[in-house]
Amino acid sequence: MSILASFMVPHPPLIVPAVGRGGEKQVETTIRSYEKVADEIAALAPETIIITSPHATLYSDYFHISPGKNAKGSFAGFRAASEKFSEQYDEDLVDKISEIAYHESFPCGTMGEQDRELDHGTMVPLWFIRNKYKGGKIVRIGLSGLPLTDHYKLGTILARAVNTLNRKVVIVASGDLSHKLQDYGPYGFASEGPQYDERIMDVMGRAAFGELFDFDEAFCDKAAECGHRSFVIMAGAWDGKKVRATTFSHEDVTGVGYGICSFYPEAGEDAESDPDRQFLKIYLDKKEKDLSAMRDASDVYVRLARLSLETYIRTGKKLRVPEEISSIVPDGEEIPDALLNTRAGAFVSIHKQGMLRGCIGTIGPTCKNLATEIVTNAISASTRDPRFDPIREDELQWLEVNVDVLGEAEDIDSMEQLDVKRYGVIVSTRDGRRGLLLPDLDGVDTVEEQVSIAMRKGGIQKHEKYSLQRFEVVRHT
């Protein structure tokens, strides 16, 4: 057997009558759709239900699968302790998923459990399912801070594990849509909220899973969605297969989006292998071509940063300046005078698949020339940023590198003298704490946000006295 079907569902505790206490009546459309999902799952009678939940154990760089034989949970945290769950885990399937991930050096497994209790992202779908179907074990999987491509790859691993064990499986992708759809909602309104819901319902309604990669991280953050990565995992489980999608409903009356869709494999001899639906391969092939073109178009500052980090990661050696940097300039040209004969602070920023992978810099010059400053900071950004593991050699082809050369900082009297697009900011206290944020960053749209982030980076509290400086940068791409 294989994956029988999958379902995209929300998880508002409100929808459970014992929690909603009548409030669930405002989302009757979602309730009716959920009951249809439960009926379909009951009819399929799966041996295992895989549930991906944004509220299960989550790590920035690892996918956690709940371990053990069983788990319990209740809605006690939502004042409905009478609603209890006791579920058996499919240990064989968990072991097979972990085994495949291990052999492929993919960051997924059962290590690092934080809470054995079932989360509400798992229990809300189960409440509806168990009202109609008591059979089947479960597998509970959390999301991660890794790129969308890794979430999709996890889906492909799930499908292979299911096929290897010949399981009858249903996947339930638990996740709400935007939390910023109405002014009266719990998180207020943002224009990105309705935009996200419209886009995701269109994409999922067409089973156009390749378009899931096109949702920018900053856009998703502003929309305050919680289910996108869950949906991407589910999509990966259908990689290369023709899928029939059905949209059941979408509601936003509470200020949070609730979308429900179903996905079934198409019948037919050619349905099992459709190269036009191998969305991860298609996306990565295009990305590789785009990055190659970007590298070819990069200026010498970025080429220097890239050469520095690639050399260090591959050989452990630091480039010698100027002896070993002639390859950054085209034949017949010379290294720019500014690199060798000026001094300045510089930041090197590294992104992978649209997500930050490292960023280290210096506010002012610390090296004999700008070239050495860039070489040093490129190494630090790729191997010594405390927020990330060191970059591996197999990641190099997927990296986007930027270099910001900082102008001299000047004192200012207030935030009114800042411009989030033009100026970076330095926030300082008398005891030497200092936080810096570069200008024109994705997702940072106001001066207030810019200063607040810089304060957090410097460990500076809002009530403390601080001084402000601004600076301009020359950004090299």
pLDDT tens digits, 379-411: 999 999 999 999 999 999 999 999 999 999 999
How many CB atoms sit inside 10 A of residue 263's CB?
Answer: 23
Spatial CB neighbours of 372, under 8 Å, sequence gap ≥ 6: 321
Query: What pLDDT is recorded for position 272?
Result: 67
Q: Pick 3-284's CATH classification: 3.40.50.620, 3.40.980.10, 3.40.830.10, 3.90.1150.10.
A: 3.40.830.10
pLDDT tens digits, 83-135: 999 999 999 999 999 999 999 999 999 999 988 999 999 999 999 999 999 99
Contact 452/441 with Cβ under 8 angstroms? no
- How do the domains of the chain map onto residue ranges? 3-284, 287-476
d(CA 233, CA 172): 10
Domain 287-476, classified CATH 3.30.700.20, yes or no? yes
Residue found by looking up tokens 């997702």 in the block: 443
pLDDT tens digits, 166-213: 999 999 999 999 999 999 988 999 999 999 999 999 999 999 999 999
pLDDT tens digits, 294-325: 999 999 999 999 999 999 999 999 999 998 88
pLDDT tens digits, 126-180: 999 999 999 999 999 999 999 999 999 999 999 999 999 999 999 999 999 999 9
Q: Is the pTM of this model over 0.85?
A: yes
Give the C-alpha distances (Å, rounded to integers) separating 20 from 15, 82, 324, 441, 466.
6, 13, 67, 41, 46
Is the confidence at residue 1, as pLDDT, over 80? no
Q: What is the 3-state secondary structure (H, E, C) of 103-147?
A: HCCCCEECCCCCCCCCCHHHHHHHHHHHHHCCCCEEEEEECECCC
Share of the chain above pLDDT 70, in %: 99
